[in-house]
Amino acid sequence: DMPLDYEAARLGVAFHEAGHAVLAMAYGIHVASSEVMSWTVGDDGWGLTGGTRLNVEHVGEWQYAAMCAAGEVTQVQYLMLAGLWTPERALACTADHDREQAVDVLAAHGYRLGRTHVPPGGRSWGQVRGMAR
């Protein structure tokens, strides 16, 4: 599978962060900032990442989880609409850090978010991705 060129990859990260920000705002979460960061690697390489900072006060636990999933969902949607989707590229959009943050935050508040299954009384990551969609 051919990797994305710089502009397409940068736009993918922008959609990922915008996904977090837009769903957060829809749920009443204050978005402090959202950005894409890039850097050069060697003579002709590059790296990309992004970050969205939120001020979370009063939001439902499953809304928070869906907001965490929204980045991954939005980035895959961008690839699909732009005609760039492949299974390998979709897999590269997997945001384990977002999922783990949701699992940890919800667990700290007594809610169960399963990575690959639906725990008793909880939801799965797949269900929260569906909510974000």
52 contact partners, CB below 8 Å, separation of at least 6: 17, 20, 21, 24, 31, 33, 34, 35, 71
Ramachandran angles phi, psi of 97, nearest 5°:
-65, -35
The fraction of the chain above a pLDDT of 90, given in percent, is 85
Is 92 a residue whose pLDDT tops 90?
no
State how many domains the chain has.
1
* Per-residue pLDDT tens over the stretch 105-122: 999 999 999 999 999 999
Q: How far is CA 14 from CA 19, 23, 37, 51, in A?
A: 8, 14, 9, 9
Residue 86, CA atoms < 13 Å, CB-side half-sphere: 8
> How high is the pLDDT of residue 44?
84
How far is C-alpha 13 from the geometric centre of its chain's CA atoms? Answer: 9
In a domain, 47, yes or no: yes
pLDDT interval class at 1 (50, 70, 90) = low
pLDDT, average across residues 71-100: 94
Write down the mean pLDDT value for the chain. 94
How far is C-alpha 41 from the geometric centre of its chain's CA atoms? Answer: 24
> How high is the pLDDT of residue 58?
82
Ramachandran area for residue 112 (φ above 0: left; ψ -120 to 50: alpha; else beta): beta
In residues, how long is the chain?
A: 133
* Per-residue pLDDT tens over the stretch 44-59: 899 999 999 999 888 8
In a domain, 1, yes or no: no
Pairing of strands 123-124, 113-114: parallel
In a domain, 67, yes or no: yes
Supply the range of the domain harboring residue 110. Answer: 6-132
> How high is the pLDDT of residue 57?
82
* Per-residue pLDDT tens over the stretch 5-33: 999 999 999 999 999 999 999 999 999 99
